[in-house]
Amino acid sequence: MTETVVSNQDLDTAGLFTPIEVKSLRLRNRFAMAPMTRQFSPGGVPRDNVAEYYRKRAAGGTSLIITEGTLIPDPAAGPDTRVPLIYGDDSLDGWKGVVDAVHAEGSSIIPQLWHLGAARGAEPRMNPDVPSVSPSGLGLDGAPVGRAFTDTDLEELKQFWVDAAVNAQKTGFDGVELHGAHGYLLDEFLWEQTNVREDGYGGSLEARTRFPAEVVAAIRAAVGPDFPIVYRFSQWKADHYDARIAATPQQLEHVLTPLVSAGVDILHPSTRRHWEPAFPELSGVEGARGLAGWTKTITGLPTITVGSVGLDAVFTGAWNPGSTAGTTDLNPLLEQFAREEFDIVAVGRALLSDPEWVNKVAAGRLDERIPFSRDHITELV
């Protein structure tokens, strides 16, 4: 990939308001809403308030809504009864209302399919009698949590992911995103600290990628060739911000290539600061390239960038009660877009506080953006 030289006079937001198509997914601009769990669905059922919450962001100009994590049908998928489910008649009926509300505003919507693995913990509120399960029965700190998957478990687990994706397709969603980041289940297979298996699913990086790739392939076979599959991955894990699944671009290629071959259409590398270089130990333009840029360079697939877009504080510090994040200019984002490092940008906390954020950017009303505040999140619709 040849790097594009960017000068300040080249920077404007017009390119972010051009359409993009990926298989059956057609977006009117390059802005997505990042998935953010709020636990506003008692009993796992999204209701009218959830539909209105997403509708407002669609009406505010966001072209693609990526929902909060939705738990797949495994009873050990999640810890909390207020996280929405992507199975069961009541939950799917609720999601149908959300989908219709977003579509009515001219936007697309995909659910994030979620299984926490060992991150569910030892004392979940949801299905407390069901032990947590993970590749090796280890938490992110290396301590034993629950139990490790057996071969039979893995086949059943794969079907849970497929059932969730088929449910999403039948409900009218425009695609699905698999949550394979942040130390959750699929990421626990990738990370050598949480995967110490000695069978074909552990050991080398290629073997650790095997199960996530099998999940993607099974979903692709079930939903057909045109239904978009997004895969979210990360280097960092919760409370392990220096963690890496790939120490070099070559190792990153070993992770991503099987996922692409299995049927992923869009990659969503999650970072805490989108402008930070992925491999700063390299020199020149390669040393400055972000994780989204490396992902696109390696795979050629459409790529979503994310991480503190338009804000001056990262997710961790600004997520605590009483914390805030102020607005910043978008020059780093625009520079990366001009260098073709990403195709879509996911906006998180900025959209929580300001549903009109994208429309304000489109109209050049950057000074009207609302700073993020954690204190009023529970009041947000």
Residue 327 counted as domain residue? yes
> Which region among 72-76, 195-199, 283-287, 375-379 has the lowest average model confidence (pLDDT)?
375-379
Which pLDDT belongs to residue 378?
Answer: 57
pLDDT over 90 (residue 321): no
pLDDT over 60 (residue 2): no
Task: Give 216-236 pLDDT, tens digit per residue.
Answer: 999 999 999 999 999 999 999
Residue 154 counted as domain residue? yes
Which pLDDT belongs to residue 7?
Answer: 38
Residue 116 counted as domain residue? yes
Task: Give 150-170 pLDDT, tens digit per residue.
Answer: 999 999 999 999 999 999 999
The confidence band for 374, taking pLDDT boundaries of 50, 70 and 90, is confident
Task: Give 62-109 pLDDT, tens digit per residue.
Answer: 999 999 999 999 999 999 999 999 999 999 999 999 999 999 999 999
SS3 readout for the chain = CCCCCCCHHHCCCHHHHCCEEECCEEECCCEEECCCCCCCCHHHCCCHHHHHHHHHHHHCCCCEEEEEEEECCCCCCCCCCCCCECCCHHHHHHHHHHHHHHHHCCCEEEEEEECCHHHHCCCCCCCCCCCCEECCCECCCCCECCEECCHHHHHHHHHHHHHHHHHHHHHCCCCEEEEEEECCHHHHHHCCCCCCCCCCCCCCHHHHCHHHHHHHHHHHHHHCCCCCEEEEEEEEECCECCCCCCCCHHHHHHHHHHHHHHCCCEEEEECCCCCCECCCCCCHHHHHCEHHHHHHHHHCCCEEEECCCCECCCHHHHCCCCCEECECCCHHHHHHHHCCCCCEEEECHHHHHCCCHHHHHHCCCHHHCCCEEHHHHHHCC
* Domains held by the chain: number: 1
Which pLDDT belongs to residue 377?
Answer: 64
305 burial level (CB within 10 Å; 0-12, 13-18, 19+): buried
Range of the domain at 107: 8-379
Query: What is the CATH classification number for the domain harbouring 21?
Result: 3.20.20.70
Residue 1 counted as domain residue? no
Residue 102 counted as domain residue? yes
The confidence band for 18, taking pLDDT boundaries of 50, 70 and 90, is very high
User: Both tokens of residue 121?
Assistant: 């913990």
Which pLDDT belongs to residue 381?
Answer: 56
Phi/psi region, residue 175 (left: phi>0; alpha: psi -120 to 50; beta: rest), is left
Give the pTM: 0.95
pLDDT over 90 (residue 145): yes
> Which region among 282-291, 347-356, 366-375 has the lowest average model confidence (pLDDT)?
366-375
Residue 178 counted as domain residue? yes
**In whole angstroms, what is the distance from residue 265 CA to residue 247 CA?**
24
pLDDT over 50 (residue 176): yes
Which residue did the predictor score with more confidence, 12 or 196? 196
* Percent over 70 (pLDDT), the chain: 94
Residue 371 counted as domain residue? yes
Residue 28 counted as domain residue? yes
What are the residue numbers of the active site? 184
Tally of CB atoms within 10 A around 220: 18
The confidence band for 317, taking pLDDT boundaries of 50, 70 and 90, is low
pLDDT over 50 (residue 5): no
Which pLDDT belongs to residue 6?
Answer: 39
Average pLDDT over residues 3-26: 77
Spell out the residues 6+ positions from residue 232 whose beta carbon is closer than 8 angstroms to its own: 35, 112, 177, 178, 179, 180, 181, 268, 269, 270
